[in-house]
Copies of this chain bind each other. A is one copy, B any other.
Amino acid sequence: MIQVVNIAVSGQGLRDITPEISRAVAEAGIEEGLCTLFIQHTSASLLVQENYDPSARVDLENWLNRLVPERDPLYTHTLEGADDMPAHIKASLTAVSLSIPVLNGRLALGSWQGIFLWEHRHHRGHRKVILHLI
């Protein structure tokens, strides 16, 4: 089964998409299998990380922003905005696809794991994640 999941984003940051993905898995009625996510963008990415303490997410975002700053004189790809080239680099360092097993009808996430869409640009808009289930 393949489904396109549309995710609304409002600026840079980690957006918890566990509810949307969990719902799609529940609706598919699969007891045991594998859920693969693929993001159709090059300036946003996927991440499984701690969903409990928001400070971990803040530090993660700040750390990556410091590693890959805007307006680095190295960049020549600057026509699409100051946040564009850093977004491509950040997306390259994280995941475009993720596979999570399904057990007893639910995503087999660890106790503190959530699934996030990491928006690397400042814009508001929508991102498409393709969900494949077997």
Query: Are the C-beta atoms of B56 and A88 separated by less than 8 Å?
Result: yes
Let me know if A88 and B60 touch, CB within 8 A.
Answer: yes
Question: Does any Cβ of B come within 8 Å of A49's Cβ?
Answer: yes
Known: A93-B93, A132-B101. A49 touches B42 (CB 8 A): yes
Q: How far does the alpha carbon of A41 sit from the alpha carbon of B128 in the complex, in Å?
A: 26
Known: A42-B48, A42-B50, A95-B95. 15 other contacts (CB 8 A): A33-B132, A34-B134, A40-B113, A42-B110, A49-B88, A55-B76, A59-B74, A59-B88, A59-B89, A60-B89, A60-B92, A63-B72, A97-B99, A99-B132, A103-B130
Which A residues are closer than 8 A to B by beta carbons? Answer: 2, 32-34, 36, 38-42, 47-50, 53, 55-56, 58-60, 62-64, 66-68, 72, 74-77, 79, 85, 88-89, 91-101, 103, 108-113, 128, 130, 132, 134
